[in-house]
Amino acid sequence: MEAVLDAVKRSTKGKNEARRLRAAGKIPATLYGAQKAGDAPAPESITVDPKPFMRIMHSASGLNTLITLKLADGGDARVLVKNVQLDPISHHPLHADFYRVNMDRKIKVTVPVHLKGEARGVKQDGGVLDFVHREIEIEVLPANIPDAIEVDVTNLGIGDSVHVRDIAADAAWTPISDADMMIVHVVVIKVVEEAPAAPGADGAAAPAAAAAAGTAAPAAAVGLAAEPEVIRKGKTDKEGEAPKK
């Protein structure tokens, strides 16, 4: 996915300036990377509008969205988002880092894995689908970054699995993650049933003998034990409190 985002260069820096920009409804940001081949990479301070920026971050491609950053002075740049700092309480963006990409050079990105279909081993045989790794690292040209990598699990039976090597054929990207890394498999959950405890010889025979004699046997004679006390562990005053920041 590609998107367009307006940006304005800024000459001032510092925490006070960043607070002023946020109060004015802007996100302070930094643009990294050389403007042209052979140039020394020099970071530039910019600002962006939070609303279109967060729409991009919440899109299907998220951090992997290829963005045309339109600078106010006319110097457009093709960029990816490298990092976003969010407020821990409100989750509003506090700062963003962008870096320029060369459209003719492959880059490394992490892409989510999406599963398609219902596994045969789950539907027919009562197995469970275990989604082991939900994202993989790939190498790809910026224009070919996929929103997600789709894996069809329809034909998976009990004990079947899908590895990175099984989904990389004829793809526009090259896997960086280990080819043997398991993505998903179908397993059987074993249920262990506890067998009922066999009555002891003393515990079974004594009541029977007492009944035959027409007398009630004392608890000690029939092997009856007092019910054990159940001790429940409760939380202390400090346990369960959120860690102090």
Q: How many independent structural domains does the chain possess?
A: 2
- What the block records as the tokens of 201 is 């010889």
Q: What is the pLDDT of residue 36?
A: 65
In this structure, the answer to whether residues 56 and 126 fall within a common structural domain is: no
Range with top average pLDDT, 90-104, 181-195, 196-210: 90-104
In terms of pTM, does the model score above 0.75? no
Domain limits at 47?
Answer: 2-100
What does the alpha-carbon distance between residue 136 and residue 108 come to, in Å, rounded to a whole number?
Answer: 10
Residues 131 and 52 in one domain: no
Q: pLDDT of 2-54, one tens digit each?
A: 899 999 999 888 888 899 999 999 999 999 986 666 666 678 999 999 999 99
Query: Strands 66-71, 44-48: parallel, antiparallel or unpaired by DSSP?
Result: unpaired
pLDDT for 208 beyond 50:
no
Asked whether residue 192 is domain-assigned, the answer is no
Handedness of CA 150, 131, 185, 183 (dihedral sign): positive
**Residue 217 lies inside a defined structural domain of this protein:** no
Task: Judge whether 201 lies within some domain.
Answer: no
> Which tens digit of pLDDT belongs to each residue from 41-61?
678 999 999 999 999 999 999
| Average pLDDT score, the chain | 82
In a domain, 205, yes or no: no
Structure confidence by residue, pLDDT tens digits, 129-163: 999 999 999 999 999 999 999 999 999 999 999 99
Residue 92 falls within a domain, yes or no?
A: yes
Tokens for 113, please give them.
């894995």
For the chain, what percent of residues have pLDDT higher than 70?
Answer: 75
Question: What is the Cα–Cα distance from 111 to 146, expressed in whole angstroms?
Answer: 7
Average pLDDT on 87-100 reads 94
Q: Are residues 41 and 70 in the same domain?
A: yes
Which residue among 67, 100, 133 closes a domain?
Answer: 100
Name residue 36's amino acid.
Answer: K
SS3 for 184? strand
Q: Which segments of 72-204 are extended strands (E)?
A: 77-86, 93-100, 107-116, 128-131, 135-140, 149-152, 161-163, 174-175, 182-187
* Same-domain pairing of 125 and 79: no
Whether 9 and 86 share a structural domain: yes
Residue 169: which CATH number?
A: 2.170.120.20
Phi and psi dihedrals of 103, rounded to 5?
-65, -15
149-152 and 107-116 strand pairing? parallel
